[in-house]
Chains A and B, each alone.
Chain A
Amino acid sequence: MNLEEYKGVYVFAQQVDNEISSIAFELLGKAKDLAKDLNTDVTAVLLGSGVKGLADQLAEYGADKVIVVDDPELKDYRTEPYAHALASVINKYKPEIMLVGATAIGRDLGPRVSARVATGLTADCTVLEIGDFPLQAVPGQEQLHNQLLMTRPAFGGNTIATIACPYNRPQMATVRAGVMQKIDPIKGAKANVEEFNPGFTPDNKYVEILDIVKSVAETVDIMDAKILVSGGRGVGSPENFKILEDLAEVLGGTVSCSRAVVDSGWKPKDLQVGQTGKTVRPNVYFAIGISGAIQHVAGMEESDIIVAINKDADAPIFDVADYGVVGDLNKIVPKLTEALKAEIAAAKG
């Protein structure tokens, strides 16, 4: 493998139902930074059926070039045709960096493609930067420059590792959603589109999709919520979650919970925050009656603002809370809801 042949920062531009996923724009924002440091450009790889018209959107968010593989086999996501398309793009265009969103699609596609093109893949990165490997010069080992340094949490968020892929190309990473910043769209930007079709020959690996069942989105996915009102065992009963729901409603937020609540059968698993639940990073996270076990904290500590209400002054949740209130949630939460209602009404005039 001649590493010098590999140039440019590439982004897998995920689309679902021919709508580009937010993660694609986030990756383009990051790719632009990396490309600047490497003095190269940004290419988006758009795979799908009837997707060519989406290319300009990718240009608006920072893609210098868009490679489009448009084929009926790529209509709905299936591992094999997508892996074949992306691996073929990598083999033909030889990118030095390939970024993929750490989504339910990307976390399937990324490993399959990395194994096919025989390179490393770092999962769920939260920081990407260009630097040296090894970080400090080591006698007897060549220090390589302009490497992609990929930082990720491991062990349920208890450790942080920075990983490089010095001797293989492309350097591949999946990147957690909601971490990287999109650029302000450049209105009217036109994509430099290159169409490419590697040819598709269905075999056993082309699985058959019998049905697609979309969940009826009654509630916002807690991973997308800007405000989360999260309850723990301290809430006391499933009925008492009503006071949290009222608070969430006033703020336009969503209710989530700790593992203890799910284990007690008070709330469904998809509302669980933590290592065995979901990792969330809302603007505001209310931890109400949550003690703050390390598995829970691992799933919410990246929230911008953490407000904790707990009657136990020694609860570990106060070690991560920006604003901790020691007190009885049953007395505080309903009053807080009323106070916020009044504030919001007053602000509207």
Chain B
Amino acid sequence: MKIVVCVKQVPDTAGGVKFNPDGTLDRGAMLTIMNPDDKAGLEAALRLKDQYGAEVTVVTMGLPKAEEVLREAMAMGADKGVLVTDRVLGGADTWATSTTLAGAIRNLEYDLIITGRQAIDGDTAQVGPQISEHLDIPVISYAQDIKIEGDSVVVERQYEDRYHVVKAKMPCLITALSELNEPRYMTPGGIFDAYKQEITVWGRADLKDVDDANLGLKGSPTKIAKASDKVRKGAGEKVSLDPDESVSYIVEKLKIKHVI
């Protein structure tokens, strides 16, 4: 079985968010990580590899620096890494990103494609389903459990108040929730090997069956009209009272606001 896993390098907000003097995010100063949902997707692929035997190829699109997440994935146990990077691909929205990744994946053999549900920087959850549409294969989003049965996958697909047990013939694309599993750590041997291995680097010319009109900033149907730092509502009142007074204070406020 051949599995392709899409991963994204994202800024790590857990380490604290850093701002430029003009109030925009200072992405350069923030540490980067493998997007958590993608890491769960990778772990799911590695478990399928452990259980059924599989070749796992990790694909990322980004700046040359995004090679780091491929090395990390290979240190965890992925077999191959593909970095898709080219200046003309920059500034892509989800349509152009999914077009690009689909163009890269067309060069690969796959039974299963796994992506994270969403990335913590954009939070859109759109790229996975859009890749599946470009490749004309079924998609099962929000996977909380993945099993293989013959030539099919059986997935628990999460909804707000239920889950569906869904069966799809491969090839198929699955988007993974970070709740799916606890990703394994890199092993020292794995890290050593990961840095010895070749990473495949593809640019625009390597993408299969894609039109320039659908790539990068120019090929993105959505355009940013305005971006700004979030205006926070700011602090209200703060009091330091003894416990009984504190209670009276809160009760009073809840009354004024008609909560009680």
Contact = CB atoms under 8 A, between A and B. Distances in A.
Interface of A: 16, 76-80, 83, 103-105, 107-108, 110-112, 114-116, 118-124, 133-135, 149, 153-168, 204-215, 217, 221, 223, 227, 251, 269, 275-276, 283-284, 294-295, 301, 305-307, 309, 313, 318-328, 331-332, 335-336, 339-340, 343-344, 347
A182 to B, nearest CB: 19
From B98, B120, B160, B255, name the one whose CB has the most chain A CB atoms within 10 angstroms.
Answer: B160
A135 B225 contact: yes
Contacts of B95: 114-115, 118-121
Interface stretch (B46-54, B70-78, B122-130): B122-130
Report which residue of A80, A209, A323 has the largest number of chain B beta carbons within 10 angstroms of its beta carbon. Answer: A323
A294 B13 contact: yes
Contacts, number: 273
Contacts of B222: 120-122, 163-165
A275 B225 CA distance: 25
A301 B236 CA distance: 12
A321 B234 CA distance: 8
Interface in B156-215: 158-169, 178-179
B117 to A, nearest CB: 8
Contact of B14 (A76, A114, A214, A295): A295
Interface in B210-237: 220-237
Contact of B246 (A116, A251, A332): A332
Contacts of A209: 164-167
Nearest to A308: B238
Contact of A275 (B13, B24, B158): B13
Contact of B120 (A118, A156, A336): A156
A265 B141 CA distance: 27
Interface of B: 11, 13-14, 16-17, 24-25, 36, 93-95, 98, 120-130, 132-134, 136-142, 154, 158-169, 178-179, 220-244, 246-251, 253-255, 257, 259-260
Contact of A323 (B125, B248, B249): B249
Contact of B259 (A105, A206, A284, A321): A284
A327 B240 contact: yes
B260 A112 contact: no
Nearest to B226: A162
Given A120-B93, A213-B164, A319-B232, 17 more contacts: A78-B166, A104-B141, A105-B159, A108-B141, A111-B127, A119-B95, A149-B225, A153-B123, A155-B25, A162-B224, A211-B165, A212-B162, A214-B162, A227-B259, A284-B259, A323-B236, A332-B246
Contacts of B94: 111, 121, 123
Contacts of A105: 159
Contacts of B244: 335
Contacts of A284: 254, 257, 259
Contacts of A326: 238-240
Given A283-B259, A332-B246, A134 B133 contact: no
Nearest to A163: B222
A114 B179 CA distance: 27
Nearest to B162: A214
B226 A167 contact: no
The A contact surface, by secondary structure, is: mixed
A101 B208 CA distance: 33
B223 A133 contact: yes
A323 B250 CA distance: 8
Instruction: Give 10 nearest A-B pairs by CB, closest first.
Output: A120-B221, A120-B222, A115-B133, A322-B236, A324-B238, A123-B124, A111-B126, A111-B129, A211-B165, A331-B243
A208 B240 contact: no
A270 to B, nearest CB: 9
B225 A276 contact: no
Contacts of A347: 260
B184 to A, nearest CB: 18
B134 A115 contact: yes
A159 B227 contact: yes
Contact of A157 (B230, B243, B246, B255): B230
B235 A319 contact: yes
A275 B37 CA distance: 12
A121 B126 contact: yes
B159 A111 contact: no
B123 A159 contact: no
Given A326-B239, A326-B240, A307 B25 contact: no
A328 B199 CA distance: 55
15 contacts: A76-B164, A79-B129, A104-B142, A104-B159, A111-B133, A120-B93, A120-B95, A123-B126, A135-B225, A164-B222, A204-B168, A209-B167, A305-B257, A320-B232, A322-B236
Given A123-B124, A294-B17, A325 B230 contact: no
A320 B235 CA distance: 5
